[in-house]
Amino acid sequence: MTRMVRKQIYIEPRQEALLKRLARITGLTEAEIIRRAVEQQVRVILFPRRDLNAWQEEKAFINNLVQQGPVPGGRTWLREDLYER
């Protein structure tokens, strides 16, 4: 088991009731619910969701290139040549 560090926290009575309810519903300990909440906050704050609009713009750009078809005259290089660089 992972080494744990003991923390004492203060929560509001309403939060305590919610925590106990979550523990009862999920079968998890109150401590595990709190640990998961901390991990969730880390993901939200430190690793925010990527800008979906940027991905959609990139996809549109690529689709536009594909619709233009092959480059006139074809390519002048071989795939193997790329690995020699």
Whether 84 shows a pLDDT value over 70: the answer reads: no
- Within a domain: 85: no
- Within a domain: 59: yes
Q: Is 10 helix (H, G, I), strand (E, B) or coil?
A: coil
Mean pLDDT on 36-64: 90
Q: What is the pLDDT of residue 20?
A: 98
- Within a domain: 41: yes
- Are 33 and 23 spatial neighbours (Cβ–Cβ below 8 Å)? yes
Q: What is the pLDDT of residue 72?
A: 84
For residue 75, the number of C-alpha atoms closer than 13 Å in the C-beta half-sphere is: 7
Query: Can you give the pTM of this predicted structure?
Result: 0.56
- Within a domain: 6: no
Q: What is the pLDDT of residue 11?
A: 97
Number of domains forming the structure of the chain: 1
Domain limits at 23? 13-69
